[in-house]
Structure 1
Amino acid sequence: MFDKLVQAQQKAEEIKKRLDTISVSGEAEGGLIKVIATANKEIKSISIDPTFHTVAALEELEELLAVAINKALQQAENISQTEMQAATKDMLGGLGGMFGS
């Protein structure tokens, strides 16, 4: 049983490392604002097209930036959930043998 817990912990670490290598993005205003993040929900970069920056009001820019960040983070959450569900399924499949299934 302890071995299975150690394996689960190792699997979780592997998933975290893999999620760090997956990039997701969020855009607003037709791509004029772009946010890149990892699937671990760490923002890596934010880019704002200079033409948009010069004509946009600060409040509008802030709102659209929040939209782009939230889109990137939602993609990251979806990928993270998918990875964790797959790992849980694998782990539970392995635990089934412990109970005579």
Structure 2
Amino acid sequence: MIGNMSKILGQLQDLQQQLKDLTVEGVAGDGLAKVIMNGQQNILAVRFDPDRVTAVAPEVLGQMLAEAYNQAQVESKARAREQVTKVTGLDLANLPGIF
């Protein structure tokens, strides 16, 4: 039992690192706004197309940023769920609120 617990803890630590290293990108405005996020749903970067950003009203830019963030978050959660399933063998897709 203790040997299994040690193995499980090691797998969970590996999983945490994998999620930290995993990156996804949310894009809005046909590439004008981008949000890069990791598998732990931490924002790593926000980028704007410098050639087009000045032509967009601030409120529209804010909407694009929110759209890019939401897209990145959905993708990040899906990829994290895949990693958890791969490592644990448990399908957590039907458990609301986990991912």
TM-score by length of 1: 0.80
Helix, strand or coil for the counterpart of 2:79?
Answer: helix
Greater C-alpha radius of gyration: 1
Q: Per-residue deviation at 1:16?
A: 1.0
Measure how far apart 1:77 and its partner are: 0.6
Q: Given the alignment of the two structures, is residue 76 of structure 1 paired with residue 50 of structure 2, yes or no?
A: no
Equivalence for 2:57: 57
TM-score calculated relative to the size of structure 2: 0.81
Cα-Cα RMSD = 1.5
CA distance in structure 2 between the partners assigned to 1:87 and 1:22 by the alignment? 15
Structure with greater proportional helix content: 1
| Cα offsets for 1:9-34 (capped at 9, x unmatched) | 11011011112222110100111111
Counterpart-to-counterpart distance in 2, 1:9 and 1:71: 31
Unaligned runs of 5+ residues in structure 2 are 91-99
Residue correspondence of structure 1 range 6-17 to structure 2 within 5 A: 6-17=6-17
What is the SS of the residue equivalent to 1:6?
helix
Matched, 1:26 2:26: yes
Give unmatched runs, 5+ long, in structure 1: 91-101
- Percent identity over the alignment is 26
CA offsets 1:18-66 (integer angstroms, 9 cap, x no match): 1222211010011111111112211111111123321211111111101
